[in-house]
Structure 1
């Protein structure tokens, strides 16, 4: 079952955008710059702790998060909270996650 977001009185609930994210999707920030590829997704309330400082980890675990990163030995991994997912679009070949934040507002892994 996907986590739901209330759309208002008398309107049906919709799945949270984070619930539509899957590994392998391309992630772009609010400016349209590519952040990387989704390597992990956790739904709100997860007990899987991301590799960030404790205060950030608690918030990410509560709202759900995705981990995205580039490729290669020196690639940087980033975490975006579920509330930072603006839109998820999919086609038969690919998926794109658009964030509400720019790359510098994301949580850097490590």
Structure 2
């Protein structure tokens, strides 16, 4: 079986909650708890890309608790491009995988193109 060509937004359609997530080093980094397709019309931030930035308090709410628990500018980018929310094996906040960080999807796992240490960590 040929691996998928990296194309995160298309691969999101093949991912379901409960799938294991394996990072670029081969380590299991968590389990998918939510999949969100991107909305190209979501708010887009220019600068800064980290922290509260220009979108503080302005990220659109779609459903209660639906937006990612990360700084506002990163949340807007995740909403625009699509993302996975993961719960790891350790206790602590959720992690978020940007759609373009997905390398391939197999029958039972999502493989990432990046190490797990580079994933966005939730604030709550």
Q: Which 4+ residue blocks in structure 1 deviate beyond 6 angstroms?
A: none
Structure 1: runs of 5 or more not aligned: 1-6, 8-14
Displacement after TM superposition at 1:66 (Å): 0.2
- 80, 105, 108: which one aligns with 2:118: 105
TM-score by length of 1: 0.75
Structure 2: runs of 5 or more not aligned: 43-61
Displacement after TM superposition at 1:70 (Å): 2.2
Counterpart in the other structure of 1:3: none
Q: Say whether 1:79 aligns with 2:96.
A: yes
Give the whole-Å Cα distance in 2 for the aligned partners of 1:44 and 1:83. 11
Q: Say whether 1:28 aligns with 2:41.
A: no
- 19, 34, 38: which one aligns with 1:40: 34
TM-score by length of 2: 0.67
- Secondary structure of the 1:55 match is helix
Displacement after TM superposition at 1:81 (Å): 0.6
